[in-house]
A = this chain, B = another copy of it.
Amino acid sequence: VTGTEALGIDIGGTKLAAGRVDADGTVLARARRDTPASDAGAIVAAVADLVDDLGGAELPVGVGAAGLVGPDGEVRYAPNLALTGVPLRRQLADRLGSRVVVDNDANVAAWGEFRCGAARDAGASMVMLTIGTGVGGGLVLDGRLVRGAGGLAAEFGHMVVSAGGPRCGCGNLGCLEALASGTAIGRTAAAAVAAGRVPAGSSLHDLPALTGKSVTTAAEAGDEAALAVLAEVGRWLGVGIASLVNALDPEVVVIGGGAMQAGELLLAPARAAAEEHLLGRLHRALPPVVPAELGDDAGVVGAALLALAA
């Protein structure tokens, strides 16, 4: 069996998702558990339980963890997990007795989309943006995941696109994440309401909370003000995409994350704005900007494929 299957484990702030995955990226079996909040030992034990659940005792294990992961598989910093400073790869390898690789969760998800998802036919390079509460990123160049000198590459949400603009969760002003995220959809809608730019009949006035999800649902029902909010946020996403394409010239741009519930309502204005900001647009085309395909499986699939390739 070794060499044709692996386990992929996605360690998030609230849940552990695991899957037994073959070399084509097909998920053959799934398991999940809540993420222990207590300590690293409990997380390692829960991962070992998941390996048992999936009958994967002899298989290589790939892990994606929500945090900063060094090239040695040590978790340097994890704001939402009890793993800061933990040599997770070594602890898991000792516990499981099998080959283990550990990487950042956004990196493994990007690898899943690159190998088996939206970028599988793209060639050798991909920029991925994950638009959720925040903005995550993943980068593949020359067929390889770019991790950066300290494991911190691809934090595309914190490129400054509007210096002096709205406050980002990171503390700075005008980051892409502050303008093109699920959070930004809610904030942009609230600003439109506060500025009196939302007509009386709009459902935005009636929503209990203005969030990425509620505004998107209103837009899908045809609310013009909600559509305008998604178009504005989509255009900011497009500015970020253009900056990345000008800097990296990838073969494809993949957009995932919860905000992609809005689909083309975000992507169409994003593509239009990206084309306007593309350097040399008379001499080249914007690469395809496409939705992610693997959804919640991206991390599990990518982690397993990284383990198989290790």
Residue numbers of A with Cβ under 8 A of B are 68, 76-77, 123-125, 137, 139, 141-142, 144, 146-156, 158-165, 170, 172, 236, 239, 242-244, 246-251, 276-277, 279-280, 283-284, 287
Contact = CB atoms under 8 A, between A and B. Distances in A.
Secondary structure dominating the interface of A: loop
6 tightest A-B contacts by CB?
A148-B249, A159-B243, A153-B249, A152-B249, A158-B279, A158-B246
Contact of A283 (B77, B242, B249): B77
B123 A248 contact: no
A160 B237 CA distance: 12
A247 B244 contact: yes
> Can you tell how many copies of this chain the complex includes?
2
A246 B155 contact: yes
Contact of A160 (B123, B242, B248): B242
B158 A161 contact: no
Contacts of A161: 160-161, 163
Contacts of A156: 246-247
A76 B139 CA distance: 26
28 contacts: A68-B280, A68-B283, A77-B280, A123-B149, A139-B247, A141-B141, A141-B146, A142-B144, A142-B146, A148-B248, A149-B249, A149-B251, A150-B284, A152-B279, A152-B280, A154-B248, A155-B247, A155-B249, A158-B277, A158-B279, A159-B159, A159-B243, A160-B239, A160-B242, A162-B162, A162-B163, A162-B164, A163-B239
